[in-house]
Amino acid sequence: MRTSLIAAAIATAIAIPSAARAANCESDLTNPVYLQIGDTQQPLIKVLGRALRDNTPHPITLVYVTAGSCTNINALLNGTAITTTMSYVPSSVENPTWKASDPPLSCTPGVGHVPDIANSNVFVSACTQDPLPNTITQVRGPVQAYVMAVPEASTETAMTVEEAYFVFGFGALGMVTPWNDESQMFIRAVTRSTLLSWAYNVGVPAAKWKGTVPGTPGADKSTDVVNALKNSPAPAKAIGILGAEVYDQNRATLNVLAFRSFGQYSAYYPDSDAAKLDKANVRDGHYTVWSPTVYLYPVAAGTTTPVLADAKYVVDLIADRAVSPAPNFDPTDSVVSVGLVPDCAMKVTREFEGGNLATYAPAEPCGCYFDSKVATTTCAVCDTNTPCAAGVCRHGYCEAN
Amino acid sequence: MRTIFMTVAMVAAAAVAGCGGGGGTVDKYDARAVDAGIIDATTPSDDASCFTNPTTHNEIINACTDAQPVAKDPTLPLLLDDGGLPPLPQ
């Protein structure tokens, strides 16, 4: 009896790492994949991480740390080991009631472990003009929109690109009312995708942006901007830059500004109106401030063979590509649920940060499915027993092709 | 008077058709609707309120849509006389 009790205690300690005993990412977790991601992607990685831990055909544990997009790219290029405590989410067995809004668990990375996957939420060319070595491959993931947000108490509804140029390029000297107080203009550090994307779209280089970076220097987070806006002593003058999905989680206390780009006749929200969550204007190009998320992982030199097969498995799931074994969940659900737009739902594309838009027809479109998740669709439903009369059945809906 | 009514009706029709029916202040951009209305991008024109069948960047960002447009015409003291942007301060 005593032996079995001890064995049970040991088994429990291994299966459920406690807060008091941080898990070892390497030895305590099933098939760990190390990710270094932008903090705007944390909601996706938490949702996807939960699904992957419960993915009985091939369970994987996503262990992640957040940093700026350019920092993440450099970590992979330079082989910079992760030395800080990492995060992961519990499986359903470990914690049945955990949800994505709950904090993650912590683990200690293996010594000298470099990221298996690096994430940038801007084009790689926004961080470095050097071509990637043939030992790293990159995959375009879902599209991430960026917004100007103001406190709920602000009466502002829109911003033109010319206003943005003067507000963030000149600061108080730009003389744009009401955004003429640099202490109430909340921006991000220069390595962050949120600032980089806005910089390219507005025409003000990231290093020249006026404003205040809230939070810990070198470790600023989106939540710091959220909190600065919420707690602003001058809400009429306050404005901040955020990832759209971060804003979506804070709609109760913040408002989004419609944005009018160069040459555009009217300003538009990322969604078809301020109350919706359909990202319609991102998809069709009326809202121009967006970037593809990019995922990079090491491959054998000059080949497409991943150094870690599970890294490719994870990236392919995020990019809505077929994987083997097939997962027991729909990864695109995870993407859509956190406010990102899968590439297969986009109708426009661009080739570099802030670049001109062009019409886009994805090879395997999922617009019907996306609409069904965020609004309504008139597309026919389908499954293996109910094939499409026309088009192709994908994610349960008959897509045009 | 009849001409004015017809113009208003054309603008309203354009708005219903998806060229920016969000209401609000009419600015210099929305005012273009009075003169143009919906333009098929396959028919060359240098003036339009919105475009159907967009192909270029300018047509895409100004394509006809059911989405809510927000008009804004801010006063920008530093804007150059020709509407251009001055260089950033050093």
pLDDT higher than threshold 80 for residue B46: no
How high is the ipTM of this complex?
Answer: 0.88
When pLDDT is averaged across residues A224-234 and rounded to a whole number, the result is: 98
**Model confidence band, residue B42 (pLDDT cutoffs 50, 70, 90):** low
Cα–Cα distances in angstroms (integers) from residue A291 to residues A194, A200, A287, in the given order: 10, 10, 11
The interface residues of chain B toward chain A in range 46-65, judged by CB-CB distance below 8 A, are 49-50, 54-55, 57-58, 60-63, 65
Quote the strand ranges of A89-135, DSSP E: 105-108, 117-120
pLDDT in tens, A90-147: 999 999 999 999 999 999 998 999 999 999 999 999 999 999 999 999 999 999 999 9
Query: Which residues in chain B have their CB less than 8 angstroms from residue A281's CB?
Result: 65, 67
**Model confidence band, residue A344 (pLDDT cutoffs 50, 70, 90):** very high
Query: Which residues in chain A have their CB less than 8 angstroms from residue B52's CB?
Result: none
Q: CATH topology for A144-288?
A: D-Maltodextrin-Binding Protein; domain 2 (3.40.190)
CA A282 to chain centre: 15
Residue A120, pLDDT score: 94
pLDDT in tens, A372-390: 999 999 999 999 999 999 9
Query: Which residues in chain A have their CB less than 8 angstroms from residue B61's CB?
Result: 261, 263-264, 285-286, 288, 357
Q: Which residue has the tokens 């890294």?
A: A311
Domain with CATH 3.40.190.10 in chain A: 2-141+291-345, 144-288
pLDDT in tens, A292-309: 999 999 999 999 999 999
Q: Which of A349, A321, A350, A347 is nearest to A400 (CA)?
A: A347
CB contact under 8 A, B68 and A272: yes
**Model confidence band, residue B39 (pLDDT cutoffs 50, 70, 90):** low
CB contact under 8 A, B68 and A274: yes
**Model confidence band, residue A21 (pLDDT cutoffs 50, 70, 90):** low
pLDDT in tens, A161-197: 999 999 999 999 999 999 999 999 999 999 999 999 9
Q: How many C-beta atoms lie closer than 10 Å to residue A60's C-beta?
A: 22
Q: What gap in Å lies between CA A40 and CA A49, rounded to an integer? A: 15
Listing DSSP states for B15-78 in one string gives HHTTB----S---TTTTHHHH--EEETTS--S--SEEES--SHHHHHTB-BSSPPB------TT
pLDDT higher than threshold 70 for residue A341: yes
CB contact under 8 A, B63 and A273: no
Global pTM?
Answer: 0.85
A2-141+291-345: CATH number = 3.40.190.10
Residue B37, pLDDT score: 63
Segment holding A159, helix H or strand E: strand A158-160
Task: Using a CB–CB cutoff of 8 Å, tell me whether A162 touches chain B.
Answer: yes
**Model confidence band, residue B49 (pLDDT cutoffs 50, 70, 90):** confident
pLDDT higher than threshold 80 for residue B30: no
Q: What are the phi and psi torsion angles at A138 (to 5°)? A: -125, 145
Residue A194, pLDDT score: 95
CB contact under 8 A, A158 and B70: yes
